[in-house]
Amino acid sequence: MLKIKNLHASIDGTDILKGIDLEVKPGEVHAIMGPNGSGKSTLSAVIAGREDYEISQGSIEFVGEDIMDLSPEERAHMGLFLSFQYPVEIPGVSVTNFLKTAINESRKGRGLEAMPAKDMLKAMREKMAMLEMDKSFMSRSINEGFSGGEKKRNEIFQMAMLEPKLAILDETDSGLDIDALRIVANGVNKLRSKDNAIVVITHYQRLLDHIIPDKVHVLFNGKIVKSGDKSLALELESKGYDWIKEEITA
Amino acid sequence: MDILEKVTNSDYKYGFYTKIDSDKAPKGLNEDIIRFISAKKEEPEWMLEWRLDAFRQWQKMEEPNWAHVKYQKPDYQDISYYSAPKKKKSLDSLDEVDPELLKTFEKLGISLDEQKRLTGVAVDVVVDSVSVKTTFREKLAEMGIIFCAISDAVKEYPELVKKYIGTVVPKGDNFFAALNSAVFTDGSFCYIPKGVKCPMELSTYFRINEAGTGQFERTLLIADEGSYVSYLEGCTAPMRDENQLHAAVVELVALDDAEIKYSTVQNWYPGNKEGKGGVFNFVTKRGICERNAKISWTQVETGSAVTWKYPSCILKGDNSIGEFYSVAVTNNYQQADTGTKMIHLGRNTKSTIISKGICAGNSEGSYRGLVKIGPRAQNARNFSECDSLLMGNACGSHTFPYIEIKNKSAKVEHEATTSKIGEDQLFYCNQRGIPTEEAIALIVNGYCKDVLNQLPMEFAVEAQKLLEVSLEGSVG
Ligand SMILES: Nc1ncnc2c1ncn2[C@@H]1O[C@H](COP(=O)(O)OP(=O)(O)OP(=O)(O)O)[C@@H](O)[C@H]1O
Ligand SMILES: [Mg+2]
């Protein structure tokens, strides 16, 4: 599904990613943890194709294709989805209109006809119900005036509508209250299948209680310094990152 | 020819009339030319006198200068002020039309028949627009609504024209209004009788005898007591015109309890990417509201090389309401100086101004607005919101809100923002599969939503597409 080799990325002359290797197979859930500023969001932005970063070395393959030269929208059309740590507000553009455009552009990118409005509305209602979102969100400007938790829930709503092959969830749990966390996690779990994969970026075990990862990676200072199974997350939760820092420097 | 001779003979000085082709006035402007125009239009004496008076005032005026608008001032003696309405050269098929123009039509979603009409291709009889127009006119006539060319109105409804023309925009109001008053030849006249709600949008498109857009159009719209009308001007299809200078005047009269909604989409040729060619659009639009009356101006301006216009409302009657909703897009080397004036004279008068400027390329956009509260305007209210959206670094946007308050009870609120389409917004859209061009269209439409919502439905849809086309290639 996703194969990253020796990825180096910098911005404005500062090296942020310093040799990342990561392979995610269909059906897997990976968790990426790591201290603030270690490069988690940068990694997700680079995978999604944000152009501000300079990539000096390495490669990214997605569904067996080298995507390094593809635009963000082309990657999206292939089935890549990023749930943003800080979703962006677009005043005056309703959630419905935004999603309609996103879905139809993605379909166009894949050579499909636009989705009939009726089907789209039906799907939207279903997914909103699944995520226990109020219908009033459909006509609100996207993310404008949304609370932190509402923004995150809206990201997962979009993911549910777009049905990606690979979803990267960048701190989707932060800002969610306990009930919302469960609802959102259930939503994510419903979208899991043997054909798609999920990368969750998080600081907390509580999300991983709901979305159980196959692998856990620790990103530190632009590198994956440790990988393990779900028990690694529990260990981090109780011990913090210091012991890892010591391990590296030792 | 008879009338022409009769009218012109007395002042016949230079003898050029014998030489000219009767369908076109020679270049230049003087009293004889005005007599010629008036004669051609078979106008009554008072109309000619009115024109001459305007001309005399114009001669004493100077063309205004604006800080943020630069253009080569036209040579007013090098323009022909009259030519008989010509039929466009009829083409046999769309294959003969400039392919660039057709591409734009396609993007705007203009139907094939409509494309043919606009480019002067003979239309097959299948969809006969004439019959649509006829039923339309019959229906209006039944209700007593008058909707015709201004030149016909001068002849057929002289009392109405005489009573109202120049009452909202006086002849000598400004340089361009004076010029228009002297030489106007085209435009619409509309009268809605007392208590009548006009059941359909009146659009210049449906006015019979419409022969392209005039250079000096004059529109006079009167909504009698308790009546309502929604009027559409312009169209989204790109308008090419040989005339570089356009100086229109629009006068609206809303009598007691009447409401006028006036919507404009302006898409004249803006010149090429280097800023060559393009229409200079200097318009004076103003409405007067009597007691409890309401006028709203909504405009989407994407065309012209230089635009100068301030649709205004004189809120004369108590409790009257003025509204101005505007989207002005400038791209490449376009320049726009637009805004509004809200003159509060009556008590409890209210005005709302929503102006959305969008600048791309090397363009310059200015908002210039005046809110004036007269001494008698007890409890007047105004709310203004003037936003600018910049695309790229080479364009400029300026906001000049002028406020004059002569009554202490007034409440005037002004908000202004300048924003850029953010990289973050674009990346967010891109990530969801929306390519940059479409993302810009989406963001821009969102930004203009409050204004587009004011337009009649079909017009709004067209206007949205128009915004997309106007901003194509403006980023990245
Ligand atoms: N334009 C820039 N110039 C220099 N440094 C930058 C720039 N943008 C980001 N960085 C730095 O890159 C590092 C990685 O940032 P990133 O957002 O990827 O961290 P993160 O692991 O997602 O952190 P968090 O857990 O706080 O979300 C940070 O130290 C950040 O300050
Ligand atoms: Mg982050």
Q: Which domains does chain A possess? A: 2-249 (3.40.50.300)
- Give percent of chain B above pLDDT 70: 77
| d(C-alpha A39, C-alpha A11), whole Å | 11
CB B181 within 8 A of CB B154: no
Interface size between A and B, measured as CB pairs under 8 A: 76
Which pLDDT belongs to residue B26? 77
Does B122 score more than 50 pLDDT?
Answer: no
Q: What is the pLDDT of residues A76-115, one digit of tens each?
A: 999 999 999 999 999 999 999 999 999 999 999 999 999 9
Whether the Cβ atoms of residue A57 and residue A8 lie closer than 8 Å to each other: yes
pLDDT at B15 over 50: no
Closest Cα of chain A to B106: distance in Å?
Answer: 18
Examine the pLDDT at B22 and tell me if it is beyond 70.
no
Predicted local distance difference test score (pLDDT) of residue B131: 44
Give which of B368, B362, B300, B353 is closest to B322, Cα–Cα. B353
Round to whole Å and give the CA distance between B245 and A238.
Answer: 77
Question: Of A77, A105, A143, which to mutate for an interface test with B (greatest number of B Cβ within 10 Å)?
Answer: A105
Ligand 2 centroid to Cα of residue A40, in Å, is 5
| Between B301 and B240, the higher pLDDT residue | B301
What's the whole-number mean pLDDT along residues B120-146?
Answer: 61
Q: The dihedral of CA B162, B167, B169, B175: what is its sign?
A: positive
Residues with CB under 6 Å of ligand 1 are A 11-12, 14, 16, 34, 36-42, 85
What pLDDT does B198 receive?
A: 92
* A60 DSSP β-pair partners: A4
pLDDT tier, B63 (very low <50, low <70, confident <90, very high otherwise)? confident
Which residues in B lie closer than 8 A to residue A73 (C-beta atoms)? 430-431, 433-436
Residue of A79, A53, A45 whose CA lies nearest to A166: A79
Question: Does the structure show a pLDDT above 70 at B112?
Answer: no
Determine, for residues A50 and B438 on separate chains, whether the beta-carbon distance falls below 8 Å: no
**Ligand 1 center to residue A38 CA distance, Å?**
7
Interchain CB contact of B60 with A (< 8 Å): no
Per-residue pLDDT for B345 more than 70? yes
Q: Mean per-residue pLDDT for B61-83?
A: 79
CB contact under 8 A, A72 and B445: no
Taking only the tens place, the pLDDT of each residue in B418-463 is 888 888 999 999 999 999 988 988 998 899 988 988 888 777 777 7
ipTM rounded to 2 decimals: 0.96
CB atoms B427 and A72 under 8 Å: yes
pLDDT value of residue B98: 65
Measure the CA–CA gap between B186 and B191, rounded to whole angstroms.
Answer: 17
CB B348 within 8 A of CB B317: no
Length of chain B: 476
Q: What's the pLDDT at B253?
A: 98
Angstrom distance (rounded) from CA A143 to CA B424: 13
Using the predicted structure, report yes or no on whether residue B67 has a pLDDT greater than 70: no
Q: Ligand 1, residue A35: give the atom nearest the CA.
A: 25
Q: Which of A49, A91, A102 sits opposite B432 (nearest CB)?
A: A102
With 50 as the cut, is the pLDDT of residue B124 above it?
no
pLDDT of the residue at B474: 65
Tokens of B197: 């709600």
Ranges in chain A, pLDDT < 50: none
Partner residue facing A102 (CB), from B434, B436, B446 = B434
Helices (H), B173-217: 175-183
Q: What is the mean pLDDT of residues B54-80?
A: 83
Tell the residue nearest (CA) to atom 17 of ligand 1.
Answer: A41
**A162 and B428: CB-CB below 8 Å?**
no
A52, A76, A141 ranked by CB distance to B431: nearest:
A76
Dihedral angle over CA of B5, B9, B14, B18, nearest 10: 20
User: Of all protein residues, whose CA lies closest to atom 25 belonging to ligand 1?
Assistant: A36
- The answer to whether the Cβ–Cβ distance between B433 and A49 falls below 8 Å is no
Q: Which amino acid is at B242?
A: E
Q: Is the pLDDT of residue B207 over 80?
A: no
What is the residue-averaged pLDDT of chain B?
A: 81
Q: Which of A72, A103, A162 sits opposite B430 (nearest CB)?
A: A72
pLDDT at A106 (0 to 100): 94
How high is the pLDDT of residue B236?
58
Residue-level pLDDT at B13: 29
pLDDT at B241: 55
pLDDT in tens, B220-270: 999 999 999 999 887 655 555 556 778 889 999 999 999 999 998 877 777
Tell me how far the alpha carbon of residue A133 lies from the centroid of ligand 2, in angstroms: 25
Output B475 or B31, whichever has higher pLDDT. Answer: B31
Give pLDDT, residue B271: 73
How far is residue B114's CA from residue B121's CA, in Å, rounded to a whole number? 10
- The two structure tokens encoding residue B214: 């005039």
Distance (Å, rounded) from C-alpha B375 to C-alpha B372? Answer: 10
User: Quick one: which ligand is closest to A15's CA?
Assistant: 1
Residue with the bigger pLDDT between B304 and B22: it is: B304
Beta strands B312-315 and B280-289: pairing type? parallel
